[in-house]
Amino acid sequence: MRHPSWRNSAVLLNCRGSVWHQQPQSASESIAAYKRSYVSLAARRAHFLCSRFPIHTRSSPVVSGHANLRLVNHLSLRNFSSSQLHHYSSRMDPVKSSHRAFIALGSNMGDRVNMIEKACLEMDRANIKVKRTSSLFETAPMYVLDQGPFVNGVCEVETNMEPLELLDTIQSIEIELGRKKLIDKGPRSIDLDILLYDDQVFSHERLNVPHKLMLERDFVLRPLCQLIPHEKPPGHTTTYLSHFNSLPPPSPVPVTTTPISPNFPPLHSTDPARPTHIMAILNLTPDSFSDGSLHSPTDFSALTTTVQQFIASGATIIDIGGESTRPGSVPVGEEEELRRVIPAIKHIRTNIPEATNIVISIDTYRARVAEEACKAGADIINDVSAGLLDPDMLPTVARTGKSVILMHMRGTPDTMTKLTDYPNGVIKDVGTELTDRITAAEEAGIRRWRIILDPGLGFAKNQPEDLTILRELQTLRTGVEGLEYLPWLMGPSRKRFVGRITGVTKASERTWGTAATVTASVVGGADIVRVHDVKEMWQVAKVADAIYRVE
């Protein structure tokens, strides 16, 4: 994209601060154009700045007789930041209509995901509200092949800016984030491109909307089809999904990337050869269904030994919980939950060197516990209610910027066993209800690439429904619109249905039955399995990966 500048262009202004780009025309045509619409707010910014900084102006012959119109010969905004320009424009703009736009996101230098997330934050701050995002995809470079792989995505934004003003602002954000364009289509720390602006067709020497190359680019259409698969490009009779399906298969196929910790590789849920991660369960509770009172929140020596054993046995994630959510459990208070989990997280982060690169997950449905746990060193928030039990949870997740596990559940631990009616089938209804929770998460500001899903085995499910989910996980992952490309966690460990099938009443002895469910989870496409018996289930997953996780 070209750097925002007013060089070689004419800017018409009037005393009310409204301006527009255009070629020379008659005064009547100029006035008619003004009446039709406001255009580039960047030019209105220019008028605001002109009133504060001396700049040469001259009367324009094309507007002779209209003293309120002036032609500004040259004005560059390159010395003003996007936040300064937004500050200026917000002080002078009339009420303007809202517009929907779609912006492509890309980076192939440095911490690529972090750079994209910074760009989204800067857009929010500049009055370009990020409403929804796609997943992020790692893609091979096009055109200039001698460069690193990109991370690409698309976001839907809401703004009252006109197209050129929007372009100016996102280019200012690129500059603020350190983008330096060395060669066309070459390496870049951040790349923001306007793909669509309402349903308008906009043509200008600096900007063409729809983006001219979008329909030939897999790395654009793939994420765009997560957001508006059934809409049609302006002037076309076929949908974006149809255009995407008509593209030749890319090689290599893009894979999704879900960050979970700065010190740990991201999840690649669409990579057929990806490993299954083992999440070790660390319950610091007296009443969990299979390991209550086994781990004390105050015995740091025993805690150290347990964590070291988890890591040595193959765990890559440790899920720490301070309240039981088994059926019929009684909730503890927030302060008690904090007392149980926060010291343990701090101890693991500061006193166990082996855990430096281990991911810590906080198992809680309370927003305050989640926030304090993240401050103490947690990387993931694992909410069994997907934000339903605490209205502050999803906004808190968005504010922390952490990844979140959204689990399907109905009711509370005390009522969920009575809420097992799925009139459309458990796969379809669980998929629909999880889609609703994703929508709620996005409305709270959580990026889609920060979401992991859990179908909630044993939570508001009976035995046949649990088995159906294990049997048809692949359908849930890929066959429900809105859930594609997302990573999944499965938590079958020692569950009641395993005991019923095997006749093993003592939960801690359900290892063999759990092994079968872990294998089924791998076959179905799970990215993470949450287990008690870490050493044994690591071996099960390792062999299952060798059989089923191949290119």
pLDDT digits (tens, 9 = 90+) for 153-189: 999 999 999 999 999 999 999 999 988 776 777 788 8
Report the predicted TM-score, pTM, of the whole model to 2 decimal places.
Answer: 0.82
Q: Which tokens sit at 90?
A: 């917000």
Which are the catalytic amino acids? 495, 530
* pLDDT(37) > 70: no
Both tokens of 118, joined, read: 């910074």
Q: Cβ distance 481 to 168 under 8 Å?
A: no
pLDDT band (50, 70, 90) for residue 414 = confident
Fold category of 99-256 in CATH? Alpha-Beta Plaits (3.30.70)
Q: What is the mean pLDDT of the chain?
A: 85
What's the full length of the chain, in residues? 551
Average pLDDT over residues 387-394: 98
| Domain boundaries along the sequence of the chain | 99-256, 263-548
- Tell me which of 57-61, 155-159, 490-494, 521-525 is least confident: 57-61
Instruction: Encode pLDDT of 457-484 as tens digits.
Output: 999 999 999 999 999 999 999 999 999 9
> From 3.40.50.620, 3.20.20.20, 3.40.718.10, 3.40.640.10, which CATH number describes the 263-548 domain?
3.20.20.20
Q: Which of 78, 39, 72 is nearest to 165 (CA)?
A: 39
pLDDT at 33 over 60: no
DSSP 277: E
Asked if residue 413 has a cis previous peptide bond (ω within 30° of 0), the answer is no
> Among 544, 520, 518, which residue's Cα sits nearest to residue 529?
518
Place of tokens 């900007």: 207
How many DSSP H helices and E strands does the chain contain?
17, 20
Between 79 and 402, where is the model more confident?
402
Q: In a 3-state reduction of DSSP, which class is residue 492?
A: coil
- pLDDT above 70 covers a percentage of the chain that reads 80
- Buried b vs exposed e over 445-459: b needs ≥16 C-beta within 10 Å? bbbbbbbbbbbbbbb
Rounded Cα distance, 136 and 134, in Å: 6
